[in-house]
Structure 1
Amino acid sequence: MSSDTQKPTSAAQPVALPAVEPPVGPTSSRRAIGIDVARAVALIGMISVHVFPEAHLDNDKMTLAFAVFAGRASALFAVLAGVSIAFVEKRSHGHLYGRTLTADRAALVVRGLLILLVGLLLGHLETPIDTIIPYFGILFLVAVPFYGRSSRFLLIAALFFAIVGPVLRHLLNGTIPEQLDPEADYTLFTAAQQPVLFIVDMLITGTYPVFLWMTYLCVGMVIGRQVLTSRKVQLALAGWGAVLALAAWVISQVLLGPAGGMQRLVEATPSLTRAEITDVLAYGPDLTLMPNTTWWWLAVVTPYSETPLTVLHTLGAAVAALGLILLVTHRGGKVFSPFAAIGAMTLTLYSAHVIIFAIDVLDVTRPVLSLWIQIISFMLFAVLWRAVIGKGPLEGIISDASDWVRRRVRASGDRPPQDTPGRLRFKPHAGPAVPPPPGRPPEPAHPVRQPAVTDRTAEIPPGSRAGRWKTSLPRPEGTS
């Protein structure tokens, strides 16, 4: 599949929902175990950001959970969503065209719609979390035209979304009206009441703008096509991801420092003091959108700011984390199997996390205890459920539904053509009548209809006696 922004009560910030993918069985490959462990790490990061405040109350210093996971766990989930889509591509064994491509894209649509439905249903709960699940469902729907595209196309698209998405967000800031209740998540009713606003919010101006998050998804699809069991690939992911994250951060520091960006922010934003702007640069915006008083705000790298450099920084951090996790889990699958069990059903456990916040059963003043109760409970549930049943509850429903649609679409193109009753499929040759040679009986007045050729003939080896069809034909009069 998270990075959901916690509303006023806790200082937590957004974390993203992982992609829904069939869980990995006990004999799964190290590649799949590493991917599921990465999902588990991202989910634990989401829980940490939600239960811990942004800063310690006694010394006003940033908490470790927020410093490590804020904004980065969501990026990791989105990258892993792209990886899961690439795994579906691999199941087609390179036959991504025609009916196979149509069937896979139809299954992706069903997956996105069901995730969107889950998110809108959770929106009816009164929680301090701005859930990302509806955005994630839209993300899968937008990804449909990109399914099966070349890796070069996907990388160019990722760069396009990373630049154009923040620009559109900056331009539309303040011009789009808010939903009926800005403090509440979208529900089935509010989305139906304001469909245009809902779509614009999901794509550009919302907490997790899909038009910008496609950057993570496209890069994840390219990564998922690689041989992830290769140590060389794992080292490349860790190295290049770290370089990208560091480069984006350094460029931001240069622009805001020696280039004079910080002074431009202060001069162009009189509604905020220098101290308040410093807090925004450290913790992210208080509201959904960053200030848009000057284009220099796009030079910022801060959690949940959705600027071009922030996207590149979090993307690099997510890719580096994925490479490191694949390296660590390269040997020792049994040791990491409990975490892989969590990662195999992150949609179910994420939804459970939202419900726990809704019913308020844990003491928010004791974040360490709340964190460990959820981690241990989720791990026990995931291990037992997968051992007894297999796929997670929500994962099983979504997987079965999408697989059913895929099979139906493929089957609709595999039906052999049928004969039309009372009509010949092959027309007789309409040439001049030629008299038969002497001693040979004349041909019948009407040609004998030959058996229709079906697809089964392609399955019969040449010269196979057992596979031949025997047909009794009427014998012309006068023959022996």
Structure 2
Amino acid sequence: MKRLDALDAARFLAFCGMVLVNFRIAAEVAPGTDWASVLIDALEGRAAALFVVLAGIGIGLSRISAGLLLRRAAFLFVIGLINMTIFDADILHFYALYFVVGAAFLTASKRGLWLGALGILILAVFANLIFNYDQGWDWETLVYTDLWSLPGFFCNALFNGWHPILPWAAFLLIGMAIGRSDLQTLCIQHRLIMWGFGAAVLALFPQMLTSDPKLVVYLGTESIPPGPFYIMAGTGTACMVIGLLLKLWPMIERSGIATFLTAPGRQTLTLYMAHILIGMGLLEDLGLLNGSLRAPQIAMYALFFCVLSSLFAVLWFSKFKHGPLETVMRRLTEHTKA
């Protein structure tokens, strides 16, 4: 079970990265060159990618049926739609759509999963060549103006939203392929670290080959728009983090901090909703979602929220087996025998 503990810890780290990024978006923090801005810039697009890769690994490690996966997708889609009325950069409804794609590949071989991820990348490239990525966006306010119309929602979900299926679903399939490997072995862990590091570094070079502003953006490693080298960089970073945690997990266990990483990693659905409803809600009540905060301030607030989340999760699991929202999802989506 050690490998699963390490994956739970990776999930919590991904959650912490998403909290930092999302709090900055919500608080309309101006760009800067201070340590917090540099940290959050590095995490933007990477933390969420790690989150999706880990979801794929979880599916790859499990024997989940297509029916259960689709029922969980339906639950997450509804929760995500509700969440979008508060925070339109929600990832849960996208997560649900990735699960639909994943259900179609449950019986695929490891090679089939990699080919599926490649096919999604190719479709995303053609979509960017054919369609207007800026359609529906007001980039000055980061508002998708046509989100709640059917054509706008479809375009946002498939092509140009915060985490569109094309190409983000590739992360899930890549994770499913990784989950088919023996993650307990040092050989696999070393491959994840080395290949992940290599992919993350190599992805930085294509943008240096052109001076065309449009090509620089698309050949870059930014998550908006998500080009093929962003997927390469996001996958590489995720593999490196996962490999390092798997390799270092025995030492982390001996340090005594393992529980504070694994407990919140097992209820990230609950904590994700909490960081929006409670974390952002408190900022709104204090009148701080107006660009008045600087990056170091929002980073300290986000890190404090993550620490409190960890403490809450440890206390919760001393009494209960699953997180609050995780329990609701299980009861609504799993068939229990009488």
TM-score of the superposed pair, with normalisation by structure 1 = 0.61
Task: Look up the equivalent residue of 1:106 and give its one-letter code.
Answer: G
Match of 2:167 in 1: 212
* Cα pair 2:46 2:234 within 8 Å, conserved: yes
SS in 2 for 1:300: coil
Q: Distance in 2 between matches of 1:186 and 1:357?
A: 24
User: Which residue does 1:284 correspond to in 2?
Assistant: none
Q: Say whether the 8 Å CA contact 1:342–1:383 is kept in structure 2.
A: yes
Q: Compute the displacement of 1:36 (Å).
A: 0.5
Return closer, same or farther for 1:149/1:374 CA change in 2, 3 Å cut-off: same
Aligned equivalent of 2:60, options 58, 78, 86:
86
Q: 1-side partners of 2:62 and 2:205: how far apart?
A: 37
Once the two structures are superposed, residues 75-130 of structure 1 have per-residue CA deviations (whole angstroms, 9 ceiling, x without a partner) of 101100101111223x7xxxxxxxxxxxx1111111011111111111222x4x62
Q: Specify which of 97, 119, 129 is matched with residue 138 of structure 1.
A: 97
Map of 1:286 onto structure 2: none
Distance 2:206 2:36 in 1: 23
Report the Cα offset of residue 201 of structure 1. 1.8
- 1:346 paired with 2:318, answer no
Q: How many Å apart are 1:166 and its aligned residue? A: 3.2
Which of residues 11, 21, 41 is equivalent to 2:13?
Answer: 41
1:304 is aligned, of 211, 224, 233, to: 224
Paired AA for residue 319 in structure 2: V
List per-residue Cα deviations over 1:426-471 (Å, max 9, x = no partner).
Answer: xxxxxxxxxxxxxxxxxxxxxxxxxxxxxxxxxxxxxxxxxxxxxx
Deviation at 1:169, TM superposition (A): 3.1
Give the distance between the partners of 1:352 and 1:368, measured in 2 at CA: 17
- The change in CA–CA distance for 1:146 and 1:134 in structure 2 (over 3 A counts) is same
Letter in 2 for 1:156: L
Describe the shift of the 1:185–1:343 C-alpha distance in structure 2 as closer, same or farther (beyond 3 A). Answer: farther
Higher relative contact order (CA 8 A, sep 6+): 2
The within-5 A match list for 1:249-288 is 249-253=204-208, 255=209, 261-262=210-211, 264-265=212-213
- 2:199 is matched with 244
Spell out the pairing of 1:159-170 with structure 2 (5 A cutoff).
Answer: 159-170=118-129
1:403 aligned residue:
334
Q: Which has the larger radius of gyration?
A: 1
In angstroms, what is the RMSD of aligned CA positions?
2.8
- Any idea what the Cα deviations from partners look like across 1:20-63, whole Å, max 9, x if unmatched? xxxxxxxxx1111100000111111112223454633xx67872
Residues 186 and 229 (structure 1), Cα distance of their counterparts in 2 relative to 1, 3 Å cut? farther
- Aligned CA distance change for structure 1 residues 361 and 328 (closer, same or farther; 3 Å): farther
Task: Determine the C-alpha separation between the residues in 2 that align with 1:195 and 1:244.
Answer: 37
Residue identity over aligned pairs, in percent, reads 25
Aligned to 2:143: 183
Long gaps (5+) in structure 1: 1-28, 92-103, 256-260, 266-293, 412-480
Report the CA distance shift for 1:310/1:154 in structure 2 as closer, same or farther (over 3 A). same
Q: In the alignment, which of 358, 371, 380 is matched to residue 281 of structure 2?
A: 358
Aligned partners of 1:79 and 1:217 also within 8 Å: yes
Say whether the 8 Å CA contact 1:229–1:330 is kept in structure 2.
Answer: no
Query: Do the aligned partners of residues 115 and 123 (structure 1) sit closer, same or farther apart at CA in structure 2, a change above 3 Å counting?
Result: same
CA distance in 1, matches of 2:100, 2:55: 12
Compute the displacement of 1:297 (Å). Answer: 4.3
Q: How does 1:370-385 map to 2 (within 5 A)?
A: 370-385=301-316
Equivalenced residue count is 321
**8 A contact 1:55–1:62 mirrored in 2:** no
Q: What corresponds to 1:75 in structure 2?
A: 49
Distance in structure 1 (CA, Å) of the matches to 2:38 and 2:136: 36
DSSP-derived class of the 2:181 partner: coil
**Structure 2 residues without counterparts, runs of 5 or longer:** none
Match of 1:159, SS state, is helix
Rate the CA distance shift 1:186–1:386 in 2: closer, same or farther, 3 A. Answer: farther
Whichever residue aligns with residue 179 of structure 2, its letter is G
- For the pair 1:105 / 2:66, whether they are aligned, the reply is yes
Distance 2:300 2:219 in 1: 38
Measure the CA separation in 1 of the matches of 2:7 and 2:146.
30
Cα 1:48–1:152 change in 2 (3 A) is same
Aligned match of 2:323 in 392, 413, 419?
392
What secondary structure sits across from 1:130 in the alignment?
coil
Q: Return the TM-score normalized by structure 2.
A: 0.85
In 2: Cα distance, 1:186 partner to 1:328 partner: 46
SS of corresponding position for 1:226: coil
- Please give the alpha-carbon distance, in whole angstroms, between the structure 2 residues aligned to 1:357 and 1:185: 22
User: How far does residue 331 in structure 1 lie from its aligned partner after superposition?
Assistant: 4.2
Q: CA deviation at 1:163?
A: 2.8
1:309 is displaced (CA, Å) by: 1.2
Output one character per residue of 1:365-406: Cα deviation in whole Å (capped at 9) or x when no partner.
Answer: 3324412331122112111111201111111222233321xx
SS in 1 for 2:183: coil
Distance, in Å, in 2 between the alignment partners of 1:175 and 1:185 is 11
Distance 1:51 1:251, change over 3 A: same
Are 2:150 and 1:150 aligned?
no
* Alignment-derived partner of residue 55 in structure 1: 31
